[in-house]
Structure 1
């Protein structure tokens, strides 16, 4: 009998597992864009711990192992920024990314005055773009960061998030 994955708020003691998982998950992105200096690969443990203290961070656990994570903050204008949605490669394509996204949306809506959800991904990150569109996000802008990288901004209204989370 297999274990089921649970999603809960991250604790300080999860920081090291999150950082290792982040490093593993962003290798593909770095390869895709030819840039191994991206922030998720250079973030220090101290920086991550600071982020844990000022952001809502959720983790997906299989037993005691962290197999996914996502972070969110809400600004003064009610824009909920969602970032660093990661799922262990062996756990991908089983709906865990969508579950984490729905969970962070629901928690941000409960704990703040979130009016819109916003996230960013690279223009070549087709799997990410498919997931976000499937979860109700629509592209609202693109910013060219370098010759090889453009970041696509996607958004959706907070009221849509509650419908997706309950589906």
Structure 2
């Protein structure tokens, strides 16, 4: 009998599993850019716990195992920064990344009044870029971080924001 994956808010008890998962998941990314000093690989457990208390963190669980995670924060201007989306390699290519992305977007909008979402990806991270674009994100800029890395910034409006502005104009 198979288990289904559940998506829910992370707790402090998930910190160690999230840290191990992000370390596993960011190895190929580090190899792609030949840079093993990236923040997901150097973050400490204490730093992650602090982030869990401040950020909106969503996890995917298969039984008691954390098999995916994503986090986000919302700035004063209503822009949500979404990052560190990870899915265990054995669970990839089954839509779990998309489920996590949608779940964190919904929580950021309802609990923290996000008006738009922003995330970044390395220029060689085609799988990540494909996922983000398939969820409505569009490229808004590129930053040359190093000779080996350009970071692409993608954004999209929160659901209902563009419609709310149109409703206001229509009723004015």
Please give the TM-score of this superposition, normalised by the length of structure 1.
0.95
Query: Aligned residue for 1:164?
Result: none
1:157 and 2:166 matched: no
3-state SS of paired residue (2:30): helix
Alpha-carbon distance, 1:37 to partner? 0.7
CA distance in 2, matches of 1:160, 1:36: 39
What's the CA shift string for 1:19-75, capped at 9, x where partnerless?
000000000000000001111000000000000011010110000000000001000
Counterparts of 1:88-167 in structure 2 under 5 Å?
Answer: 88-159=88-159
Counterparts of 1:57-72 in structure 2 under 5 Å?
Answer: 57-72=57-72
Query: Aligned residue for 1:5?
Result: 5
Query: Aligned residue for 2:82?
Result: 82
Query: Aligned residue for 1:54?
Result: 54
Higher mean C-alpha displacement, 69-78 vs 152-161: 152-161
Alpha-carbon distance, 1:159 to partner? 1.5
Larger Rg: 2
Give the gaps of 5 or more residues in structure 2.
162-172
| Cα distance change, pair 129–160 in 1 and its aligned pair in 2 (3 A) | farther
CA distance in 2, matches of 1:27, 1:116: 29
What's the CA shift string for 1:75-114, capped at 9, x where partnerless?
0000011000000000000000000000000111111221
Alpha-carbon distance, 1:157 to partner? 0.4
3-state SS of paired residue (1:159): coil
Contact 1:85/1:97 (8 A) holds in 2: yes
